[in-house]
Amino acid sequence: MTAALLIAAHGTRSPQGTDTISAFVDAVARSRSDVPVSLCFLDVSEPSLRDALEATDARPLIVMPLLLSAGYHVSSDIPHVVAGRSDVLVARHLGPDPAIITAVADRLAEARSAERGGPLPARSAQRGEAPNTFLAAVASSRSSARAEVDEAARLLANRLGEPVSVLPLDGDLATTVAGLPQRSDVAVYLLAEGGFLDALRVAMNGHGVIAEPIGTHHAAVSLVWARYDEALGRVR
């Protein structure tokens, strides 16, 4: 048994971010050609989740939140839109899964290699030094989302073998970045380009290394299908 897959991305006004999400969805579709895959958005862009549900006759249908944290869209928005639709299932969102941490770590390694000619050795947390590796993530008022970002930072620290602190993407980023240790490295807990990453790049302005967003990393693509299969198991 199969079900159609509707990927629900956040949406962005960034053309580059939209292109990245489209490329990601194309990669998902190519990796399992027997499943119909379509894209909708939860904010800013169109079609909306509600409009996409009305436009497709494919049933059963699995909605995949292309989101890293359990914020408003995961906790409230999506459940409200699909309420009462017994033939529509919602898969788990992506983070903080080890596959996502793999992708984030790989993007950081790529940025370090490009900037410095190779990865830096792991830093010891025993020397009492302030950590200078950070995980940039969108700030949320939801405790569930904040807890997941904290968990992502912990998992990344374990993966890298060095301390990692969360760098919330809100408020006066220039002031926040000015308070960071010199030559800070920033991993990016974002799927695609957009206003948050643009603001961070401006604020960093040579202060240190900034990784690219996750984008079409193979681990993230595989995770979408793992979430799909998990949800499909509830249909059978």
CA-CA distance, 39 to 64, in Å (whole number)? Answer: 10
pLDDT for the residue numbered 3: 94
When comparing pLDDT for 2 and 213, which is higher? 213
> Which of the following CATH numbers is that of domain 98-210: 2.60.40, 3.30.1450, 3.40.50, 3.30.420?
3.40.50
Question: Within 161-217, where are the H helices?
Answer: 173-178, 195-204
pLDDT for the residue numbered 116: 67
Tokens read off for 88: 């529509």
Express each pLDDT in 175-216 by its tens digit.
Answer: 999 888 878 999 999 999 999 999 999 999 888 899 999 999
pLDDT for the residue numbered 75: 85
Task: Give the CA dihedral 18, 20, 26, 31, nearest 10 degrees.
Answer: -150
- Give percent of the chain above pLDDT 90: 73
pLDDT for the residue numbered 127: 42
> What's the predicted TM-score (pTM) here?
0.91
Domain ranges of the chain: 4-93+216-232, 98-210
Residue 63 has pLDDT above 90, yes or no: yes
Tokens read off for 191: 């799927």
pLDDT for the residue numbered 129: 46
How far the first Cα of the chain sits from its last, in Å, is 8
When comparing pLDDT for 206 and 53, which is higher? 53
pLDDT for the residue numbered 5: 97
CATH architecture of 4-93+216-232: 3-Layer(aba) Sandwich (3.40)
Tell me, yes or no, if the two domains 4-93+216-232 and 98-210 fold the same way: yes
